[in-house]
Each structure stands twice: as structure tokens, then as C-alpha cells.
Amino acid sequence: MAAALLLCAALSLGARREKVKVSTDAFWVNPNLKGTPQPKPTITPWASRPRKERGPAPYVPPSDWVYNTTGGPVEGKINVHLVPHSHDDTGWQVTVDQYFYEQVYYILDTLLVRLNEDPNRRFMFVETAFFARWWDQQPASKQALMKTLVERGQLEFINGGWCMHDEASPYYVEMVDQTTRGHQFLKKQFGRVAAPKGTWSIDPFGHSNTNAWLLGAEAGMEFEFWGRMDYQDFNMRVDSKGLEWVWQGSQSLGDSAQIFAGQLFGGGHGGYGTWFGFDGSSPQVQDDPSRHDYNVDQLVDQFIQHAQQQAKSYQTEHQMWACGDDFNYQNADHWYHNLDKLIHYVNKNGTVNAFYSTPSIYVDQKKKANLTWEVRQDDIFPLGDADHHYWSGYFTSRPSLKRQVHMASNFLNAARQLEVISGVTAEQVNAPTERPSPPVGPSWTDSLEGTVGVATHHDGMSGTERQDVSDDYEQRISESHGEVEEGVALSLQKILGVNATFEHCNCNSMGGDNCLNISMCGLTTTESQFTVVAWNPLGRSSAQVVTVPVVGPNWSVSVNGAAVTSQTTELDNRTLSIPGLYLNFYNMTADQAAAARAALANNATHALSFDLKLPALGYVTVTAQKQSTSKAVAKAAKAVRAKVGDTLSISNSAYELTFDTTTGRTASLKNLASGATIPLVTTIGWYNSSVGGCTTDPGTDPQHMCDDQRSGAYIFRSNTSQVFFPGPATVPTLEVVQGTLVSEVRQVFSPWATAVYRLWQGRAHVEVEWTVGPIPMDTPWVPAVAPGMPNLWGKEVIVRYSSGMQSGGVFYTDSNGREMVKRQYNKRGPSYPPLVVNEPVAGNYYPVNAMISVQNTTHEMAVLTDVSQAGSSLQDGAVELMVHRRLQDDDGRGVQEPLNETMCGCNDINAGEAQMGEHGHEGDGGCWCEGLTMRGRHLLMFDTIEQVNQQRRQAMEELSFPATLAFSKGLLSPQNPTASFLAQELPAGLKLLTLTSNYAGINDGKLLLRVAHLYGAGESSAMSVPINVNFTAVFAKQGLTVTSMDETQLTGTYSLSEMDAKKHKWQTFDPTGGAVLKQLHETKAFNKRYPFDVTDFTVTVRPMEVRTFLVTFQ
């Protein structure tokens, strides 16, 4: 993620590292440890004494030059666990393959030799995507040696996921999938011995509860360590031995899902290095007194001083030093030769004890201490590393990649299901990905699984990589997506009993071709009759609306010969304009540009929508046929421009949404069932991105108002809390479409900021489709800061929903699509120190993966989102979501590019840090494109707290996991036009999370099956209860009849009973005087797991719990 250091030094919490030049005497002053008090030497270096006064050297090499590296914990001494590691980003400044071939290959290759030289040496490795690349290129002899090292515990896999995933952007589904993939690869190659014992989340820019309890405790992890936490929290804890605690992150599973957690000390201020480093040309340990630059006595003294300093910040006499940094150990001899010496001489000194170790060995000593540890539930969001440095911008950065990963994940899971049911093999599909992910299983879904997995990296879908690396992630997903599309098509042919070609409109083509999100689909707009197959990946039946683009208003739609409710709606100009934005018109004449734009045009005129009842884990076949006016079944609806002063409202059976035509804004929302009404004002606006300066908003700490920190890919910092109108101030225009299936109001704030509000019949939510972009770089409607110069202002675009509810500054955000977490404006949770406010906007932003809500004493307003975004509530009753960003400065965290995306997927060339590019403005270097335009959906719900809490989870499922669609020409007559492959639906509130055969070869032919409880404890009186499911009753259809089930921990690596049996019971206390205990007991947790009944395959699933099985079907 950052350039490799000459020193293995930790920087301040979260600060990106840059290359530094270090002099030969830099052991005492490390430029990466700014502001951190460093120990002073207690000796006069032997080499600097006058020659006559020196006497014998205090340390001399052993006569055979073999250093003593044996050893382990010694009771009564400070024990320093030296943990060799390398942090290897699976993409950041260059792509995952470039990092592998240029750096990581040599890390693993040289480790193999150096570890084998000395059985005391150890190393921990994290990113299985890299290890798999290396493994696949090795001869059997090297593989055998690596297996020996793993069996001896010298090479230990920690975390072991395909990558070190981001914790703010992914949905829990993506996090589980990529971790499982990595663990299954390790199981395939090494067996049970390689199963990771803990997580090593050293570089993500904040840490979620879900990662701790689900990807940690429920995956069999015993610990989680990281290198970044909030600086105010760190400063409180570093002097009170509070940098490690027991994290009880789940409100629902309580103490059954605890994990030991902590912040690495680094060089004294966090980070994931330590005070010394021996990579490359950095200073080395010189212990030969007959040579120049003898320094071993200095280093031993400093080693002791640092150990004694660190001992003040941790309980027990054990401390862990992370010996490594980004892409270290490419010549592992540098590190091991020097560490061997340090261990030898430090232990000869005897003041402290040092030895090679791993995090697992370290935590074993924490268990043996039998101490009482602080218990904590709060997550680590947002992370600040200084007064104005809040890492909350990346919650939204690169929204198109975030969207692509989430959409591909849903398609992947549907494809896995179809593969299991159809039995179609990769050989039959015969469309292998040209540059596949390193394989784990033989499935035609395997490569997509890998490319989605690597994109969840904390410098991947987080949006904090360079533009060409983001393009690489997207290309990998698109290429492997094609193979899966072929597999889905073949599976549907087999299941339906048809010999037809199926196509997809998954936004997976060049430009805007075949992208339903912008009403583009080549097949539906060129055919007068076509067939749609809609596959429901959910384990329960689902009512979903499907919308496809067509030409003309007159259509009929039917399922099994029966007409279904449908409607055609004229496409708006905004939608029709989007395909033309993909044009790169660099060096084009005006005529050439016009011709190219015409070639990109969408020839659709209408959107055809139809209401479907989809069976659980099944499909329906829909036919659509163009008709004359008299035969049309779909009701046509036209847009009518609203006049100022008109009464304007739309309604369905659940809501009435009213607009104020004098302001052009929404005015109120009424729940028709309860009669409750709230004022509702929706705004699209933007914050001005800071380029450094002073934050003067009310409430800001007056002692710390100014800083040169800029807003960038990682950091969000607004100049003020003012939200600007998206263009010259005007009244937004309104158009209304009244229809039988859907009514909508189209709102235009400006040419680059629009919204459509829809009320679908039978749906208890308001759909808000927002479209933002191209965000202009110049801001000519605002008085110029420098007369005669453009106002090149960065813009952080939000959608705000203001309800007027008295929410008391409290709001709730989801954690990776799992539990809701309570937030409070300008405050942190009870385990934090009182917040010193210095960024009243950015410091109150949190990741929102699925929903955000506010409530008063009786009612709640929830906003659901279809892609991860930054969100907050800065005023009572209001929620806002940052939907897009376009910036013109770099934030100095190492990516060295402004976050300035275009529709062409390119940015200016030769971009230096904090620079736009070679000539300082867009359009140079062959990239002359419009800025990235984004479209997404929010679902707005308003009702009593109980009703919203009960309904929002199902709405979230249908928004995030919609039906997978396939299209075929003509009117198909399949042998099996509709089917469900479950004998009975899963119980309400239980999700079919995973069904895949990709790992069957690793698990004796057994398939991986997961179910997840959708509700958290205390969320809904009706639904937040344990759910009993009998899998024999659910899976009883031919071809999918369950015959055996073995329960495992989350990743299918080993049995759940083994995991629970070895789980350590930590003794805990609350240092806050009861505030944390009150938080922990705010809802009644389900601390005890219900056992799986192996006789009739029945299990009871606790709220929020995920249960994993290896199964066989007949």
C-alpha cells in the first residue's frame, strides 16, 4: 500500500508512509516517528569512545559465527516477540500482478531458503492471492519444502483470506466469500494445519464490528491486530495499558463471539512496523569490532529501552514487535541475519528476552496470564490520525468500482446456485477466462470468485488505489464475468429444457452497452418479442419489479400465458444522454465527435416494467411482445411538466409523497396505513473539498483549527459545513408520471444533479433514483477566488433527507450489512474518550453499506442504499449520504493522484502527488472525457419503529440481491417455464447465503452451504428470535435432496465443535464505571449456540448468526 521503507518504522496512526533517507546514525532519530518520545541512550557507544578508554568490545561474534536464536518466553522478564512479516497489497500503486512479479515472488522465494536454514526462524503470511500465484509456479520440490515449513509452524498463515479486505466498503457476503476462498486454498494444499488462528488487519483504515465477530470469532480466529486506530483513543490508551482488549462486537451473539484485539505499538505511536528495519540498504547490525561502524552495543541498548518503554503500554510481560513493512523480505537474508544477531546479543545482555514468534504464540501467552481484560463493543470508525485528518472519504471513493464488486458478488452467488442445480461443468461451458484468478476449485465460477475477492482489498473497492489499478480490478471482474455469463446461459438452457441463446445486460460491456442501470439492453431494444428468465437467489419467494428498455409504448407481458401487471414509461432525457458520456473525444474534430456520440446513442424510447412473483431459489419465464395500441396490455405513462403553484403528489397503497412546486422540492411523506406524516425535504448538494486551511465551523476546537490536510481518496475534509447547490441557484424543475404500476416525479436540480422519486404499487417504500455527474471541475457560478482564474473546486456530493423528526443527535448505521450500530453527533461510544471536535462534518461520517436511520420516540425514517457510501446525520431528523466525489488534490497518503474519475476510466497522465497531471488540467495525455457519472437507488421507509425494523431487512434483501436476468430472442416455450428447487421455503428471516460446489474436491465431494439470520437482537419483536430450520424439509426435491451434513466454522475449514471446544474464555471488566456494560446489555444477547441435530438435520439459528455446513445432495 505504501512505498517500501528503508526503516521498518511505524508512522503515526494511519499516516501513509513515504520513502525516507536515513543516515548511518539514524538509529536514534527516526523521521517516521514524528511527535513520538523516543528513548535516550544509556551508554556511550563503544566505537565513539577514545581508543585508549574502550577496553574490549562489549559484544563479540561467536567463534563459529553461528548466532543463538533458540529460546522462548522467560517468566519474570520482558518478553519481546519478534514477528517477521511483510505487508503486501494486492494492488495499490501498481496492479496485483505487477506487485507479484516485481516484489512478492521474491519474498516467498527467499523466505523458503532462509526459514529452512534455521528452525527457530518464523514468518507470518497473510494474502493468499499472492501465495497462490507463487505456489502455482513452483516445482514439486519447493512445494514439498514449503509444506514442511508450514507443518513445523515456521511459516504461519494469519488472516489467510484471498486479500486483507477493506472493512468499510464490502458487504459481509463479499468479506465471507474472499476469506473462505483463501482458507479453502490453504486447506487444499496443506490440510488442517494451515488454518489461520487469527486476523492481521494491520492496514485497513478503520475496523468494523462485523469483521471482529463474524470474520473473526465465528471463523475460528482467536485474535485481531491492526496498525491504525483513532488518535484520540490511542492517546488515552497508550499510557494506561489499554491498547489491547476483548472485543465483543456483536450485540446479538454477546460473549460467545468475543475476540482478543489490539493496536500494534509500532515505534510508539501505532503502525505496523517497529523502531528498526533491515530491508534493502537500511543500516545493519555491525558486531565485528575489527571493522568500522561497530554498533551492536547501541542497538542492544536501544532495544532494551524500547522494550521497557513499550512495557508501560501493555498488560503482561509480553510484547509484540511487527518486524517488517510494505513488501519487505524480498531478500530475506537482510532481515534474518540482523534479527539473528539482535536475538543473540539481547539475550546475552539478559535485561530483556527476545525470540522469534508469531501473533498466535503471543496470544497464547496472553491467555496464560489469566488476567482480566477490558471489554469493548465500539467499532473503530471513523479513524482520525490527527486533528483534521479523518479517513472517511474512502467510504464513497470510486463508487463505480464499489458498485461493480457488489453487483458481481450477487451474480456470482446466483451462478453458484445454478451450477449446483444444473450440474453444468466448466468443460461444458468451455469459455475459460483468458487471464484467470489462480484457481482454487474447478468451477466456471472460480475465476470470478477470485477477481471479486481480490477487489475487496483495502486499497481496492475502498477506492484508494491509482486509476490504472482501479481499471485493472474492473477489467479482471469483467473478463471473468463473461465466463460466468456463459455458464449461467448454459445452466438455464438445461434447467428450462430449451435450445436457445441467452444474453445478459449486466453493465459488463464496453461503455454503456447492455447496462440496465441506464436503460441499455441491445436485445430488448432490437427485438419485437423476447423472453426474460428471472432467477431468484433468495431462499424465500419474492415479489420484484423488473424494468427493461424497449422501443415504443405498446407491449404485452405474460407469464405462462397469463398477463402480468406491466407499464411502459417514457425515458427521460437525462437517461438518454448518459451513453454519450462514455466518449473519449481527444483529438476528434467536431464532426467526428458527433458521429461517435451518435454511435453510442440509446435507441430505446420507453422503460417496460412488470411485476413478478418469484419462487424461492427458482425462476419464472416471462415473454414480452410488441403490440398495436389496441392489443397492448402494458399501460403507457407519459411525463407531464409540473407548473409552479400546482398541487403535486404521488401515492401507492403505502405512502403519499407530496411536492412543493414553488421550491421544486419534496414537502411531506405520509404513511397511509398509520396516518403518520413527516415533513420531508430532499436535497442534492455538495461540500467544497478542503485544500488545507482552517476549519471554523461552530463547535470546532479553537486550539486546533488550522491544518494543511487536503481532501483526497482517503481523507474527507470540507472547507465548511455549508452545502452548496449543484449549479447556479434555481428552483428545481419537476415532471410527474402517473401510472398503474408505478408513479414517479422527476426532479432536475441542474444538468449534473437529478433525482427520480418512484412509488411502486404494493411496495412499502419510496424509491429515489439519484444521478450525479459529470461533476464539473470549474465552479463558474460562484465568485472567483482569484479574479480571471477558474474556480477549480473539489466537490463532495450528497443526497440529504430532512424529516424534522426530533432524533436527539442519534442515528444508526449498519455494519457491513449486519447489525445496526448506534451513532451520536459529535460523540463516540462509551469506550472512547470525550471527543475533541475539530471536523464537525467529516468527523461525523461513517460507512453505510446497506442502511442508515433516525428515529424519535415512536417513529423511524430509514434510508437503504444499493452500494456502500459515507453517511451521517448532522441535523436532527436528517440523514445524508455522500454519493459521489470529484477532487482536484491528493491527500498525501501515498496514492499520488487526485480522485478525478472519468467516464473513460482514464485520468491525466504523469500525475504527481497533489498534481492533476502533466499540464495541470483534464484533457491532456489522450484522456478528454466527461467526469464519471453515477446512478444509484435509495429506498426510503417511514413508519413506527417496530414496523420499519421488521420491513427494512426484506427490502434490503431485494435491493441488494435482486433477481438475475437472462434474455433470449423470440417467445420461448420451455419444458419447465417456472420452478422452485426448494421443497419448502426457508423460514422468514433466514437467508440462503451460500450454495457452491467449487470446493467439493477439497471436502470429499461435499458442497458448501450457509444460512444467515437477517435480524439482530432487539431489532424486531416479531423477527429477532431464534429460527429453527429443518434442512431435510427444505432440501427434499429430486437432485437437491440432502443426505449428509457436517457443520463447520464460517469458512468450512474444520468442524464447529472443534472451534467451540478450543475457544478461550476471557475474563473481562468495564473500566468506564458501567457505561460499556450498559451498552452491552442494551439488548438481550443470545450467548449460547444452539447445537445442530445431526439425526434430522435441524438447527436453530440465533439472531445475526451465520451457520455453515458441508453437505451432500442426492
Select from 10, 34, 6, 1 the least CA-distant residue to 273.
Answer: 10
Sign of CA dihedral 544, 545, 548, 551: positive
Contact (CB, 8 A) for 727 and 774 = no
Tell me the average pLDDT of the chain.
91
pTM: 0.95
Instruction: Tell me the C-alpha distance between 355 and 346, whole Å.
Output: 10
pLDDT above 80 (res 919): no
Assess contact for 1017 and 1103: CB atoms under 8 A. Answer: yes
| pLDDT higher than threshold 70 for residue 917 | no
Q: What is the dihedral of CA 129, 132, 133, 137, to 10 degrees?
A: 180
Decide if pLDDT at 148 tops 50.
Answer: yes
pLDDT band with cut points at 50, 70 and 90 for residue 925: low
* pLDDT at position 34 over 80: no
On whether the CB atoms of residues 473 and 91 are closer than 8 A, the answer is yes
List CB contacts of 160: < 8 A, sequence separation 6 or more. Answer: 126, 128, 179, 182, 183, 186, 194, 195, 196
Res 642: pLDDT = 84
| Distance separating alpha carbons of residues 131 and 275, to the nearest angstrom | 28
DSSP assignment of 678-722:
EE-EEEEEEEEBP-SEE---TT--TTS-EE-PPP-SS---BSSSP
pLDDT-derived band at 949 (thresholds 50, 70, 90) equals very high
- Position 608: which residue type? L
Look up cell 534493502; give the residue: 280
Q: Which range is least confidently modeled, 627-641, 651-665, 824-838?
A: 627-641
* DSSP-assigned letter for residue 916: -
Are 654 and 670 in contact, with CB atoms under 8 Å apart? Answer: no
Burial class (CB in 10 A: 0-12, 13-18, 19+), 132: buried
How many other CB atoms are there within 10 angstroms of residue 971's CB atom?
Answer: 13
User: Is residue 954 predicted with pLDDT exceeding 60?
Assistant: yes
Tell me the torsion sign for CA atoms 566, 572, 576, 582. Answer: negative
pLDDT: which is higher, 111 or 586: 111
| Beta pairing partners, 859 | 944
The arithmetic mean of pLDDT across residues 698-708, rounded, is: 80
Closest by CA position to 724, among listed 678, 770, 776 = 776
Share of the chain above pLDDT 90, in %: 83
Q: How confident is the model at residue 698 (pLDDT cuts 50, 70, 90)?
A: confident
For residue 827, the 8-state DSSP code is B
Residues in CB range of 871: below 8 A, 6 or more apart: 395, 813, 845, 846, 847, 848, 852, 865, 879, 880, 881, 882
Our CA angle for 475, 508, 550, nearest 5°, is 165
Count CB atoms within 10 A of the CB of residue 939.
22
Share of the chain above pLDDT 70, in %: 95
Question: Is the pLDDT confidence value at 448 over 90?
Answer: yes
Give the mean model confidence (pLDDT) for residues 79-83. Answer: 98
Is pLDDT at 1089 greater than 90 in this prediction?
yes
Q: At a CB cut-off of 8 Å and minimum separation 6, what does 734 contact?
A: 641, 642, 648, 659, 661, 664, 745, 746, 747
How far is it, in rounded angstroms, from Cα 544 to Cα 613? Answer: 7
The 10s digit of each residue's pLDDT in 642-676 is 888 888 999 999 999 999 999 999 999 999 999 99
CA distance 770 to 867: 12
E strand or H helix at 557, and its extent?
A: strand 555-559
* pLDDT computed for residue 922 by the predictor: 41
Q: How does residue 912 score in pLDDT terms, banded at 50, 70 and 90? A: very low
- For residue 28, pLDDT beyond 60: no
State phi, psi for 190 to the nearest 5 degrees.
-125, -15
Q: Give the up-direction half-sphere exposure of residue 798: CA atoms within 13 A in the CB hemisphere.
A: 31
Look at the block and give the residue holding cell 438435520.
1097
CB 1107, CB 1048: distance < 8 Å: no
d(CA 309, CA 239): 10
Asked whether residue 1041 carries a pLDDT value surpassing 60, the answer given is yes
- Cα–Cα distance list, 268 to 11, 240, 307, 692, 746 (Å): 9, 14, 10, 27, 55
- Mean pLDDT throughout 1023-1031? 97
What is the number of other CB atoms lying within 10 angstroms of the CB of residue 1066? 19
**Can you name the residues that pair with 384 across neighbouring β-strands?**
390
Q: Tell me the C-alpha distance between 937 and 707, whole Å.
A: 36
Check pLDDT > 50 for residue 14.
no
Residues 206-230, mean pLDDT to the nearest whole number: 95
For 592, list phi and psi in degrees, rounded to 5.
-65, -40
Q: Sorting pLDDT into bands at 50, 70 and 90, what band is 904?
A: confident
Report pLDDT digits (tens) over 1063-1077: 999 999 999 999 999
Query: In whole angstroms, how far apart are CA 126 and each of 200, 360, 792?
Result: 7, 13, 42
- Hey, CA dihedral for 720, 724, 729, 730, is it positive or negative? negative
For cell 509456479, name the residue: 137
Please list the helix, strand and coil fractions of the chain in percent, rounded to the nearest 5, in that order.
25, 25, 50
Query: In this predicted structure, what is the pLDDT of residue 37?
Result: 64
Q: Which helix (H) or strand (E) holds 226?
A: strand 223-226
DSSP assignment string, 1076-1094: HHHHHTSS----SPPPPBT
Q: State how far the Cα of 946 lies from the Cα of 948, in Å rounded to an integer.
A: 6
Segment 349-362 shows an average pLDDT of 97
Lowest mean pLDDT of 36-40, 321-325, 527-531, 1017-1021, name the range. 36-40
Q: Evaluate whether 325 touches 272 at the Cβ level (below 8 Å).
A: yes
Which pLDDT belongs to residue 36?
56
Nearest to 712 by CA among 966, 546, 891, 509: 891
CA gap 699, 826 in Å, rounded: 9
3-class secondary structure, 830: coil
3-state secondary structure of 165: strand
pLDDT tens digits for 472-522?
999 999 999 999 999 999 999 999 999 999 999 988 776 677 888 889 999
